[in-house]
Amino acid sequence: MNRKEHWETVYTKNKDTEVGWYQADPEVSFSLIEKVSPSRGSVIDIGGGTSRLPEKLLDHGYEKIAVLDISTAAITRAKARLTERAGHIEWIVADITEVETLGQFDIWHDRAVFHFLLNPADRKRYVELATLTLPTGGYLIIGTVALDAPPRCSGLDVCRYDAPSLAAEFSPAFRVVEETSHIHTMPSGKLQHYIFLTFERM
Ligand X SMILES: C[S@@+](CC[C@H](N)C(=O)[O-])C[C@H]1O[C@@H](n2cnc3c(N)ncnc32)[C@H](O)[C@@H]1O
Q: Which stretch binds ligand X (CB under 6 A): 69-77, 162-170, 179-187, 191-199?
A: 69-77
Q: Count H helices, E strands: the chain? A: 6, 9
Q: Give the residue among 13, 14, 197, 10 at the shortest CA–CA distance from 115.
A: 197
Q: Is 107 in the site for ligand X (CB under 6 A)?
A: no
C-alpha distances in Å from residue 106, one per residue of 1, 39, 40, 94: 35, 11, 9, 20
Q: Which stretch binds ligand X (CB under 6 A): 79-87, 93-101, 160-168, 178-186?
A: 93-101
- Give the binding-site size for ligand X (rule: CB under 6 A): 19
| Footprint of ligand X on 139-198 (CB under 6 A) | 154
Q: For ligand X, which is the closer residue by CB, 47 or 138?
A: 47
Q: Is 51 in the site for ligand X (CB under 6 A)?
A: yes
CB of 20 to ligand X, least distance (A): 7
φ/ψ of 176, rounded to 5, equals: -75, 130
Rounded Cα distance between 63 and 180, Å, is: 26
CB of 3 to ligand X, least distance (A): 6
Q: Which stretch binds ligand X (CB under 6 A): 110-118, 144-152, 161-169, 181-189?
A: 110-118
Q: For ligand X, which is the closer residue by CB, 90 or 164?
A: 90
Is 91:67 a contact under the CB 8 Å cutoff?
yes
Instruction: Give the H/E segment covering residue 137.
Output: none
Residue of 62, 116, 174, 199 interacting with ligand X (CB under 6 A):
116
Q: Is 54 in the site for ligand X (CB under 6 A)?
A: no
φ/ψ of 198, rounded to 5, equals: -105, 125
Q: Give the residue among 26, 10, 9, 27 at the shortest CA–CA distance from 18.
A: 10
Q: Is 48 in the site for ligand X (CB under 6 A)?
A: yes
Question: Interface residues with ligand X (CB under 6 A)?
Answer: 3, 7, 21, 47-49, 51, 69-71, 74, 95-97, 111-113, 116, 154
